[in-house]
A = this chain, B = another copy of it.
Amino acid sequence: MPFLPVDDQLEIISKGTEEVIPLQDLRHKLEFSIKKNKPLVIKLGCDPSRPDLHIGHSVVLQKLRDFQDLGHQAILVIGDFTAMIGDPSERNKTRPQLTLEEAKSNAESYIEQSKVILDVKTLKVLFNSTWLNKMNFSDVIKMSSKYTVARMIERDDFTKRFESKIPISMHEFLYPLAQAMDSVEIRSDVELGGTDQKFNLLVGRDLQREYDQEPQSIITLPLLEGTDGIEKMSKSYDNYIALDDSPEDMYGKLMSIKDSMICKYYKLAVFADKEKVLSVENQLKDTSINPRDIKRDLAKDLVARYYDKDIALKAEQAFDQIFVKKSIPDDISVFILEEDSTILEILMSESLIESKAEGKRLIGQNAIKIDGEVCSDPGHIFSKGSGDLIVKVGKRRFLKISG
């Protein structure tokens, strides 16, 4: 497959990114790749100790897929070396120590989940223990000599901890170098990562230079906040939409995001084009449109992306069903049906209406619903054996009739 012209490639590559450093270098690399008809090596590192992929991961994975579609060589570097060591200081509970088996199995699961985004046929998967396990103390000293303490402390989280006197174990300084060695080992041309990985990606760049390689370009992608709209999406915050969530869960979780997150999710979860995002922004400004309806469209788009449109529609219907049930308070009164009774008799006896006249008026206004369905018959009779039914009067009065 011939490569697209540089400008066309750059347009696709740059879309949705936070930073491309340095852009000029990437242009040269692409030119060289076309000239030599040689695909670029695109690195994405992954942490097998957190193998649950969610749509937050889809941002970088989709960018890797973009490179695949442009004919470049995507390499997934499984960080099993550090995952198997874990955090020997036991300060960091989010970094458990994995066995070789767990690391392998998590990596397989990671690849399996990423199939919905990546082209796994051309994907190259490498385990960094392959080369990092071979390094001895002397190699580590040589590697460490290429980097200064001051630059390491510049990493945002290290700076904060250092200044607040929160201990940083010395091995934590070795991890950024270890993953940077991955770039040296695979001679990556480009590395992808979330904005929170920028420092590490730059260390890779520096280390390649020290090992006499052309330094990789780095591309950072924005982080997607979780459904809470506050924290980065993560399983540990329980604010995530998994790539392998059921259509119903995907739809329902998306509906729980804040209105202020709608545009960001349009961009980073369903990768809408500029025009679509602009139109959504306008809709959100239009007070006659309920943001909930825009979110419903977004939720359908998301499910359609990972499944298809029909499944998305069914997920919506299922959601509506559940949503009705969900909109009922937990602590409503229960009326135990002893004998067949009309709706107005029951509502009167439970004081949900003050008179049968009020009940009739409300029914006339379609303001009384049974299990979400409008009740239009003032003589509607509840019979024994009909199970639990929820009666809603107006907006806030509920009664469960247990028949």
Query: Is B145 within 8 A of A149, CB to CB?
Result: no
Q: How far is the CA of A141 from the CA of B315 in the complex (A)?
A: 48
**0/1 string, A132-150, CB within 8 A of B gives 1:** 1111111111111111111
A134 to B144, CA, bound (A): 18
Across the interface, do A168 and B149 meet the contact criterion of CB distance under 8 Å? yes
> Does chain B have a CB within 8 A of A32?
no
CB pair A173 B145 closer than 8 Å: no
Q: Are B142 and A137 in contact (CB under 8 A)?
A: no
Q: Which of B141, B158, B167, B178 contacts A85 (CB 8 A)?
A: B141
B136 near A148 with CB under 8 A, answer: no
Assembled-state Cα–Cα distance A174/B143 (Å) = 11
A379 within 8 A of B: no
Per the 8 Å Cβ criterion, residues 156-176 of A in contact with B are 158, 162, 165, 167-174
> Nearest Cβ in chain B — how far from A330, in angstroms?
46
Write out the residue numbers on chain B whose beta carbons fall within 8 Å of the beta carbon of A152.
170
Cβ-defined contact, B162 with A85, below 8 A: no
How big is the A interface, by class? 35 or more
Type the 1/0 row for A31-68, where 1 means its CB is closer than 8 Å to any CB of B: 00000000000000000000000000000000000000
Asked whether A88 is an interface residue with its Cβ less than 8 Å from the other chain, the reply is yes
> Is A371 positioned at the interface, with any CB of B under 8 Å from its CB?
no
Interface residue? A87 (CB, 8 A): yes
- Which residues A161-205 have CB closer than 8 A to chain B? 162, 165, 167-174, 177-178
Shortest Cβ gap from A172 to chain B (Å):
8
B133 engages A150 (CB within 8 Å): no
Q: Is the interface of A mostly helix, strand, loop or mixed?
A: helix
**A114-148 with Cβ < 8 A to chain B:** 132-148
Q: Is the CB of A165 within 8 A of B150?
A: yes
- A138 contacts which chain B residues (CB < 8 A)? 81, 84-85, 133
A333 CA / B89 CA spacing, docked (Å):
75
- Please report the C-alpha to C-alpha distance between residue A349 and residue B88 in the assembled complex, in whole angstroms: 88
Q: Determine if B174 and A144 form an interchain contact, defined as CB atoms under 8 angstroms apart.
A: yes
Q: Does A153 contact B (CB under 8 A)?
A: yes
Partner of A135 from B84, B136, B147, B149 at Cβ < 8 Å? B136
| Known interface pairs A133-B136, A135-B136, A149-B153; A141-B171 also in contact (CB < 8 Å) | yes
Q: Which of B81, B89, B145 contacts A171 (CB 8 A)?
A: B145
Decide if A149 touches B149 in the complex (CB within 8 Å): yes
A147 touches B174 (CB 8 A): no
Q: Contact check: which of B87, B150, B165, B167 meets A167 at CB < 8 Å? A: B150
B residues less than 8 Å from A169 (CB atoms): 144-149
The answer to whether B145 touches A88 (Cβ under 8 A) is yes
Which residue in B140, B148, B170 is a CB contact (below 8 Å) of A149?
B170
CB of A403 to closest CB in B, whole Å: 63
- Shortest Cβ distance from A79 into chain B, in angstroms? 13
Per-residue CB proximity of A359-386 to B under 8 Å, as 1/0? Answer: 0000000000000000000000000000
Chain B residues whose C-beta falls within 8 Å of the C-beta of A132 in the assembled complex: 137
Quick check: A150 and B171 within 8 Å, CB to CB? Answer: no
A377 to B87, CA, bound (A): 91
Look across to chain B and name the residue whose beta carbon is closest to the beta carbon of A90: B145
- Cβ contact within 8 Å between B85 and A142: yes
Besides A144-B171, A149-B172, 10 more A-B contacts (Cβ < 8 Å) are A81-B137, A89-B145, A133-B136, A140-B140, A144-B173, A146-B169, A146-B170, A149-B162, A149-B168, A152-B170
For the complex of A and B, the 5 pairs showing the least CB-CB separation, nearest first, are A88-B145, A144-B171, A144-B170, A145-B171, A135-B137
7 contacts between A and B (CB under 8 A): A137-B137, A140-B140, A146-B169, A149-B149, A149-B153, A149-B158, A173-B173
